[in-house]
Structure 1
Amino acid sequence: MSKVLVILGELSDRDIDWMLANGTRNKFPPGTTLIVEGKPLDALYIVLDGTLSVSVASLGNKEIGKIICGEVLGEMSFVDGRLPSASVTVVEESLILSIPRRLLTEKLEQDVLFSLRFYRAITKFLSSRLRGTVRRFGEETDYLIYQDPDDERAIGQNNIENPDLAQSRFQWLLQRLKGS
């Protein structure tokens, strides 16, 4: 289950409309570096289509994970204000919704209920990611951070209040953004 479903399961329809109205849909070709480790981010990203690669400089820029449709990027830096801990590069053409950091910060400061729902969702999937990472330390794998696309345990149904609603919202979001 993708991280965006956790967010969409927590946010209201009005919240999602705000994200669509204030975000920008961009297509990125293969080879584009979307996030550079150690460099400030100016947006929160939602992957709508495509595949991206995650690498870390301390491991010789070795790929440690893949990012697929439905993943959220930049949330850790958004929450803690620190620089990104990994680089993210487009592997196959990707469609990404970018929500400017400045606008999202303003929205969170002005709309207490949106802020509550947003941070609750981020807390849930960061917790799930940490649990998955800890579990993978006991396995023989090089992919320690990001979930395997086939691993439903990483962010399970029990972490989403209403998984059917979240899934239908994501499909609705994709149709709106891919059609425009």
Structure 2
Amino acid sequence: MRKALYIFGLLNDADMELLAALGRVRTVPAGAVLIAQSQQLDRLYVLLDGHMEVAVSGIGTVATLGSGEILGEMSFVDSSPTSATVQALDDVRLLDLPRSALEARFAADPGFGMRFFRAVAVFLAERMRNTTARLGYGKDEPMPAGMLEDELDDGLLDNVGIAGERFARLVRLLAER
């Protein structure tokens, strides 16, 4: 749910309603591949219920994702082919957000586009910091005073409760359709 905390914490309530209106709920059965590594992806997904496995060719499973995770964000940002395969571990429900619908909305509402891309950028920056730390880069540089290695940013912590409520609201809005 960590991705959702970054993204939903930086969006506003109206943005959540907009995401619900732009996307469609989709069910993926257990064992089905949602995203194949190296494919072109023209959408973004929000995992509403269930679990998915992320695997990279030659490496194996790199993550298991649950409710609230965002899928396809890297390919959404740079339009590159996907870097991993994502497969349903059980029956999952997700919000399918087509790139064309989101891009049309970004053009009509630049404020929404700014908030959306800032949220994705903050998440990707944090992921990069954690990855480089795990690989041993920057070991000679001290952590900021009072900060633990995998601690969330203070600005994000302020929005954790709000982000969780926004995700719950998104799920409720989608259930009403």
| TM-score of the two chains, using structure 1 as the length reference | 0.83
Structure 2 spans left out of the alignment, 5+ residues: 137-147
User: Map of 1:14-163 to 2, 5 A cutoff?
Assistant: 14-59=14-59, 62-138=60-136, 156=152, 158-160=154-156, 162-163=159-160
Deviations, residues 74-120 of structure 1 (Å, cap 9, x unaligned)? 11001111010111000111111110111111112221101110011
Opposite residue 87 of structure 1, the aligned amino acid is: T
Deviation at 1:43, TM superposition (A): 1.1
Distance 2:150 2:23 in 1: 27
Deviation at 1:179, TM superposition (A): 5.2
Q: Secondary structure at the match of 2:26?
A: strand
Indicate conservation of the 8 Å contact 1:48/1:94, yes or no: yes
Distance 2:173 2:37 in 1: 31
Q: Secondary structure at the match of 1:107?
A: helix
Structure-2 residue corresponding to 1:166: 163
- Deviating above 6 A after TM superposition, structure 1's stretches of 4 or more consecutive aligned residues are none
Distance 1:47 1:67 in 2: 8
Q: Secondary structure at the match of 1:58?
A: coil
Opposite residue 165 of structure 1, the aligned amino acid is: I
Opposite residue 170 of structure 1, the aligned amino acid is: F
Distance 2:95 2:80 in 1: 22
Distance 2:5 2:116 in 1: 12
Distance 1:166 1:158 in 2: 14
Structure 1 spans left out of the alignment, 5+ residues: 139-151
Cα separation, partners in 2 of 1:162 and 1:35, compared to 1, 3 Å? same
The question of 1:177 aligning with 2:174 is answered: yes
Opposite residue 13 of structure 1, the aligned amino acid is: D
Deviation at 1:155, TM superposition (A): 7.0
Q: Secondary structure at the match of 2:50?
A: strand
Deviation at 1:47, TM superposition (A): 0.6
Structure-2 residue corresponding to 1:148: none
Distance 1:155 1:67 in 2: 19
* Larger mean Cα displacement after TM superposition, 166-175 or 80-89: 166-175
Opposite residue 124 of structure 1, the aligned amino acid is: V
Indicate conservation of the 8 Å contact 1:124/1:159, yes or no: no
May I ask how many residue pairs the two structures share in their alignment?
Answer: 165
Indicate conservation of the 8 Å contact 2:106/2:112, yes or no: yes
Deviation at 1:163, TM superposition (A): 2.1
